[in-house]
Structure 1
Amino acid sequence: MASNVTTQGQEIVECDSCQNPVSFSCRRCLVNLCDPCALLHLRISSKTGHDVVDFVKKDDDDSCFCESHPKQECSVFCETCDLPICILCVSLMHKSHNLSELSEKIEEVLKNITQKNDRLQSFRHKLETHLEDTTNKLVEIFSFYQKKKTVVTVLGEDWHKQINETKKKLHLKLNDLQEENEAVVQREKRELEVMIGKIDEMNRKTTRLQKSKNLTEMMKFIPIITEQKTIKKNIRSAVRVLCYKYTGADPELS
């Protein structure tokens, strides 16, 4: 299994499982994969199965084909079996079942997907706000510790050799504190960016399905977009307000 390196604009698209350039995409799991990870991904069991295709072709599927007759496009929806079917299925296996128009079911499922996606987009706006806050916090942390270092440096210039040794120790301590604080905020920043990325992927999938008639893909996408409600829970921990008690935090530096 091999494919060309894929780019979007001037940037190389990376595999979601590692840092290698992407080659494939699983349309069921909504993940981008490099050559080695694609082989590993196919070995993982999934309720919806896997549909690994070339990354550049991941959005090409726009038809709804019958599961029992793969060459036949679906034209009816069986409410009894909760399944889109073709005209052959109607006469062979679903005679006594409750049937409905495929277009009506498509409209119903799309409405459900769109509503869930709209809610995700509203969460995205909140995430963006918190992402901006964490970015500003990183700037504040850097500025704060730079000022502290400057104060220590000015004092050190007037001290003798023994005091200069104390200055070095204080710098090391400030560096440790800075790294510790930045690590916390950087982690939250990455979590927010990942959440936004997932929501954007849901939005791209929803947009594509809105132009599609592939009910099978729509129905398989429902549980995937529904699972994204965990973002609502994650946001409570990922965007918590960080309180830094700068003044008086260390008696030696105040």
Structure 2
Amino acid sequence: MNLFQNDRCLYCHTFIVPTVSWGSLISKETEDPLCPACKEKLEKIVGETCRICSRPFHLLDEQYRDGDLCNDCTRWEEDLEWQGYLEKNHSLYLYNEFLKELIASYKFRGDYVLAKVFVEYFKKKIATIIPDLLVPIPLSDERLYERGFNQAAAVLTLAGYSAAEILTRIHSEKQSKKSREERIHLTQVFQLVSNSELTGKRILLIDDIYTTGSTLRHAAKLLKGAGAESIQALTIAR
């Protein structure tokens, strides 16, 4: 560890002064990708949440809660077309204004290095889930060309995991431009890569943002139909 070298925050680019302690003299500490000011702006999801989508109940009016589910997940689970496909979504942070800007820089402005902000969390969470396959939600060829990289796969790569890229995506209008109803009633937007053996596999889908859950459920439905045992998801923001 170089005690006299300041690292810069990956988002605001201010210098991060390393904390010097006896522990840091003995072993190298984990690199901190964000300065304290930026880190404080990230709102971790804490407390009681919806059993399926991780929506925090303390931010939800009681009338929109059904026991251990939010109303949105209740509607999904009452619909026989979608019931039971997505077991659980794990999200790290609330999608506040700071994270919205950070993800925009990462996702739309090509700032690949920002994937480092989420690497340590992904490692810890994946270690508790222990999936058989890590499947990033794919981009269409057109979107991949526009952005230069798949933001979901990039975090896995920097975390040292192999991405099972067994899904391909049909090009369509951006999800952010669609209403909630339009997202929910989309026809299947994914295709399975041929010769993918999924029988009995526990799959963890990787994506950046959980909004309505439509994208993840479309992928989960396809994978379950191909023989997967269970489908969970890991997302940066909720």
Larger Rg: 1
Q: Which has the higher helix share?
A: 1
**Greater share of strand:** 2
TM-score (norm 1): 0.22
Scaled by the length of structure 2, what TM-score is found? Answer: 0.23
